[in-house]
């Protein structure tokens, strides 16, 4: 983690803010690197965060068995591991509608007149969960009033260039330098 600022006190304060927020949002262990460049005289704030790879997504077939009964036009899902049941129900309610989903027991779910192919259905995506927490942390770290934002995201790298005015080309050039530096160390 590195904070770059012309003001040594400001640098120390932002380093402390960064560490505290990563701890508060509970993503410190998932973060590989963070680079911050701040110059309030300009005003510009750049934050680049690189996160570690996560576990693969959990698919429906990873924790259930299911079969379609064409005569009744219903799909029966047997739950082998209830850990992801709440997320499964939420996903099914979103894609099929709550009125078509029935749960006679904690190990059974029935879908009336299913319209969506269930094979390969992502029920839980650890990377998406991590990204939500990362963006939460980033927006807590960005200084108040720096609401003009240029966003860059590629793979496991997220970079935001922020200002309270317009984004100058020199700010974007600095962001590209940080991106190149972080991609080289990957």
**pLDDT score at 184:** 86
- Taking the C-alpha atoms of residue 47 and residue 129, their distance in angstroms, rounded to an integer, is 20
**pLDDT score at 138:** 95
**pLDDT score at 186:** 66
- Taking the C-alpha atoms of residue 179 and residue 163, their distance in angstroms, rounded to an integer, is 18
- Name the residue ranges covered by the structural domains of the chain: 2-54+126-184, 58-124
- Taking the C-alpha atoms of residue 125 and residue 144, their distance in angstroms, rounded to an integer, is 31
Q: What is the pLDDT of residues 36-64, one digit of tens each?
A: 999 989 999 999 999 999 999 999 999 99
Which residue numbers in the chain have pLDDT < 50?
none
Cα pseudo-dihedral 95, 90, 54, 138, rounded to 10: 100
Residue 119's CB: how many other CB atoms inside 10 A?
A: 8
Q: What is the pLDDT of residues 143-156, one digit of tens each?
A: 999 999 999 999 99
Going along the chain, which residue ranges are E strands?
Answer: 2-5, 31-39, 44-51, 58-59, 64-69, 74-79, 101-105, 108-112, 122-124, 148-154, 157-163
DSSP label at residue 148: E
Q: Which residues of 89-101 are buried (b: 16+ CB within 10 A; e: fewer)?
A: eebbeeebeeebb
């Amino acid at each position: 983690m590195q904070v770059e600022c012309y003001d040594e006190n400001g640098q120390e304060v932002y380093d402390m803010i960064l560490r505290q927020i990563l701890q508060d949002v509970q993503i410190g262990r998932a973060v590989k690197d963070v680079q911050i460049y701040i110059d309030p005289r300009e005003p510009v704030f750049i934050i680049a965060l690189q996160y570690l790879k996560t576990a693969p997504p959990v698919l429906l077939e990873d924790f259930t068995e299911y079969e379609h009964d064409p005569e009744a036009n219903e799909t029966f899902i047997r739950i082998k591991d209830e850990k992801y049941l709440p997320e499964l129900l939420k996903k099914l309610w979103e894609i099929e509608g709550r009125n078509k989903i029935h749960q006679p027991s904690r190990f059974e779910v029935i879908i009336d007149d299913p319209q969506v192919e269930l094979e390969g259905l992502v029920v839980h995506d650890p990377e998406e969960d991590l990204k939500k927490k990362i963006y939460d942390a980033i927006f807590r770290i960005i200084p108040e009033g720096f609401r003009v934002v240029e966003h860059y995201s590629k793979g496991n790298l997220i970079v935001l260039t922020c200002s309270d005015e317009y984004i100058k080309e020199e700010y974007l050039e600095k962001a590209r330098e940080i991106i190149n530096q972080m991609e080289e160390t990957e």
